[in-house]
Amino acid sequence: MANAKYFELNGAAIVVDQKDEDESHLFRVLDQMANDVNLLNDMSISSLECSHVDASKDTAKYFFSLD
């Protein structure tokens, strides 16, 4: 859940907790996402900003001093 919350806090996801919400809430969230292109674009940009594109390469450089 921590990873999901991280992405939600950064605008890259909407977390629907099963124990706290019912199926009508899930439907509303999915309907909003399906009908709001701006929301999806914003979430897409946010998810890219959350990513660490060169994480594997950076880790290898750190541990093995590779260039």
**Whole-angstrom distance, CA of residue 39 vs CA of residue 52:** 22
DSSP single-letter state for residue 20: T
pLDDT of 52 reads: 85
pLDDT of 9 reads: 96
Q: What is the pTM of this model?
A: 0.70
Instruction: Flag residues of the chain having pLDDT under 70.
Output: 66-67
Q: Are 22 and 29 in contact (CB under 8 A)?
A: no
- Domain residue ranges in the chain: 2-64
pLDDT of 12 reads: 96
pLDDT of 67 reads: 54
